[in-house]
Amino acid sequence: MTNQSRSSTPPVKLIPLGGLGEIGLNMMVVEYEDTIVLIDAGLMFPEEEMFGIDIVIPDFSYLRDHLNKLKALIVTHGHEDHIGAIPFLVQEFPIAIYGTSFTLALIKEKLVEHNLLGKVSLHKIEPKIPFLIDPFVIEPFRVCHSIPDGVGLIISTPVGVIVHSGDFKIDHTPIDGKPLDFARLSTYAEKGVLLLLSDSTNVEREGYTLSEKDVGKTFRDIFQTAPGRIIIAVFASNIHRIQQAVYTARQFGRKILFHGKSIQTNVRLAEELGYLEVLPEDKISLKDLPFMPDHRVVIITTGSQGEPMSALTRIAFDDHKWIKLKKGDTVILSSKFIPGNERTIHNVINNLYRRGARVIYESVEAIHVSGHAHREELKWLIGLVRPKFFIPIHGEYRHLVKHCELAKEMGIPQENCFLVEDGDVVSLWEDWAVVSSKISSGRVFVDGKGVGDVGGPVLRDRKHLAEDGLVIVSLVIDQEYRGILSGPDVFSRGFISDEMSSDIIYCAQCLTLEIFDRYLEQGITPDTGEIQREIRKELKKFFLKILGRRPLIYPIIMEV
């Protein structure tokens, strides 16, 4: 294709709005002329410095600016980093949503919870059955992951075929008997694939991901030697892990208590759709627990990440109303420690040990396997698909860099590997691709019912408060003569102890009075804003000199 024909032929544009440069927040725009299709709409959980933030979602500004083009959202699977932003998306955009059975069931629960179900249409998709969102023909293909019903996408576009891997691993012995569909990928590879978008999460890990069935072997070893109750903490979406726990409990004559709202909801949905097989006689309720012998009980719950309100955390800190740990209990944390959660999880583990439990987690037993492909599997996908162009997705920046390097090792030319971040616009023609521009993108903070109303300045203040505390100076001045009628009163929170406060506060009061005296001596009548700035400046210097601390200083001046 010549440069002239490139300029006259519309490209397909790919624009990541999230997920390229961080773990989570996955959202990809696929655009051709007057059509935009979204792939996934995920959230990210707040990082350590995001004080008070509940969740983080992608910035939808680009979608608002191109509202008339927005046709559909296709969801690859039901993890929060792929569906968590859907309620916020649907509030603004009444978009058609496409997903597999279990994925749609999870989305429907979210929409019901937010009273949004009537605003969208839900469309079930199935592997190997193409569907049309003009001009795109999209064929889902089966992948293995740590949640049922995950798919990748083969997207036939006017310029060529794009393969989106979704989150995947290669498991030749999956629990549900449905391995990744090598055949469909091979068929399209023979015809020619223009672009591969591939999951980068585990690119730093050598070799192959272990099979989910390996966890079942570990479960059996633990069950064989556990004298008392067994408590298993898992992600509520990991239905295959829950199924293995059910099979093992049944094998050893134990009954199962599913505990926690998200576990109970996901188990119910998975049972209804046939993704989980639990017999009525396998289950007990919380009221049955006191009457069951310990060696016949398994409790499956959430809390493997040390979430403050989870059942496992409350059990660990002896704050659970119904479940109290005993010596002889075994607690299994059957998940990976998500980076950033280590300290919280370790606190939970330490407290579980204090209560006499035996605790098993990933670093001491093979109790978890990843749902993401390791390096050899990533190389296999590149080798099978043989794309002309390559873009790593789903990962922090270092993951994307290493995945690009891996693609080059697999024979893709350096100029055909694109290291793309959120907001980059990739323009794609039949034989040419380029990062053509950059659009406004970013993160939107959700705090309670507020969406996007908390930004950088508020977070900086929260960080300041958390690290240094707060000092409030309150006084009343005469509006006409500018003299002090009441105060100054000085209050502090999170700044100094009660034992130290009286002397320090008295000095702060005196310093505030001195500021007013200086104005009187000079015959100046300052306005309220000037007085506030001067109080803030002088107290800042004072606290730094005396205590080496920098509290947030907030003067309040009332005029009467």
pLDDT of amino acid 367: 86
Burial class (CB in 10 A: 0-12, 13-18, 19+), 440: exposed
Q: Which residues contact 156 (CB under 8 A, 6 or more apart)?
A: 130, 136, 137, 138, 139
Residues of the chain with pLDDT under 50: 1-2, 4-5
pTM of the predicted protein model: 0.85
| Arch. (CATH architecture) of 3-207+370-451 | 4-Layer Sandwich (3.60)
Q: What is the pLDDT of residue 2?
A: 47
Buried b (16+ CB within 10 A) or exposed e, 421-439: ebbbbbbbbbebbeeeeeb
Structure confidence at residue 95 (pLDDT): 93
Contact 17, 24 (CB under 8 A): no
Annotated active-site residue in 82, 145, 372, 403: 372
372 is a catalytic site residue = yes
Active site residue 149: no
Domain ranges of the chain: 3-207+370-451, 213-360, 469-559
Report the CATH superfamily, name and number, of domain 213-360.
Metallo-hydrolase/oxidoreductase (3.40.50.10710)
Q: What is the pLDDT of residue 100?
A: 98
Q: Which amino acid, 464?
A: H
Distances (CA, A) of 491 to 174, 260, 477: 61, 42, 18
Would you state the pLDDT for residue 504? 82
pLDDT at 414: 95
pLDDT of residue 500: 66
Dump pLDDT digits (tens) for 103-112.
Answer: 999 999 999 9
Q: What are phi and psi of 290, to 5 degrees?
A: -65, -20
Q: Which of 40, 59, 181, 199 is catalytic?
A: 199
Task: Report the alpha-carbon distance of residue 109 to residue 78 in Å, rounded.
Answer: 11
- Residue 466 dihedral angles phi and psi, to the nearest 5°: -65, -35
Regarding the domain delimited by 469-559, which CATH topology (the fold level of the hierarchy) does it fall under?
A: Ubiquitin-like (UB roll) (3.10.20)
- In the 3-class helix/strand/coil scheme, how is 279-346 assigned residue by residue? CHHHECCHHHHHHCCHHHEEEEECCCCCCCCCHHHHHHCCCCCCCCCCCCCEEEECCCCCCCCHHHHH
183: DSSP letter: H
DSSP 69: G
pLDDT of residue 450: 66
Q: What is the pLDDT of residue 125?
A: 98
Distance, in Å, from the CA atom of 58 to the CA atom of 38, rounded to the nearest integer, reads 12
